Amino acid sequence: MFGWKISLIEANKIINYCMKNKINFFDTSPSYGGGLSEIICGKALKSYNRKKYVLSTKFSLIEKLRIDNVIRKSINKSLQRLQTSYIDYFVLHHDVSLKKLNAIIKTIKFLKNKKIIRFFILSNPSNKTLDKILKKTALSKYIDGFQFKRNLLFYNNHYFKTLKFKNFKLISYSPLAEGVLTGKYLKKSHSGRIFEVTKKKNYYKSLLSKKNKLIVSRLYLKCGGNFFNLIKKSYQFFLSDHRITNVLIGVSSFNQLNKNISILNKIR
């Protein structure tokens, strides 16, 4: 939630609307806007009872320090920026080796015992890493859930086949495939967020591959040639799946939030 291009006024408007409409899960990260996202969330949520909302933030092992020092430094800065005494969902932002994960969990256990974090979540572990984790009970029992991409273009069924007998929290993001499932990037024009605010152009070009365009075109026709119906279908894909605990919907403006809520209200 929130990155480079949003004001505190807009953030307050979004969060107030969310809290009034029983939307209380807020996902952020120190890497979103270089910490600005956490600062904005902290200021906007400050007036609300802490028990009334759920905060998710992330950490990475990019600094060349001891793992426990990196994690403690990251959580302390996040707590300060978010103006809170604890984090509900503490998410490792990238895949790691089992050796590093064992070292991470030592610090996670400490943070849980101190009630600084409630749940430890892994984001996008590879299928190979996931399989290894689940074979080690001593390791997996300290992992509370997984965050991964899942939408009508990217199913990632391996997670569900592997985790079906485990009581993990499953957090899915990118329900509209970075906007591809809204149809706005099917045009020949190269304008828009995808090409303007990221250096990872190869990643976004893969989203607009010939294969994906063909899939979206077919879905579009199945939805009666109406992208509004395709967006509804995309959300129904999640709402009908009881295994998913939370769905992260990217929000960059109040109008965008309002449109998403309007669609969700029509398919409940």
Higher pLDDT, 19 or 195: 19
Sheet holding 246-248, edge to edge: 25-27, 54-59, 87-92, 117-123, 145-149, 169-173, 246-248
Q: What does the pLDDT average to over 4-17?
A: 83
pLDDT in tens, 57-91: 999 987 677 899 999 999 999 999 999 999 999 99
Q: Which residue has the tokens 């092992």?
A: 61
| Rounded Cα gap, residues 36 and 20, in angstroms | 24
Q: What does the pLDDT average to over 170-183?
A: 88
Q: Which of 127, 64, 61, 136 is nearest to 100 (CA)?
A: 61
Q: Which residue has the tokens 């109008």?
A: 255
Question: What are the residue boundaries of the structural domains of the chain, listed by start?
Answer: 8-143
pLDDT for 165 beyond 70 = no
pLDDT for 187 beyond 70 = no
> Which percentage of the chain shows pLDDT scores above 90?
43
| Rounded Cα gap, residues 206 and 190, in angstroms | 14
Average pLDDT, the chain: 86
In words, the CATH class of domain 8-143 is alpha beta
Phi, psi of 19 (to 5 degrees): -65, -35
User: What is the model's pTM?
Assistant: 0.88
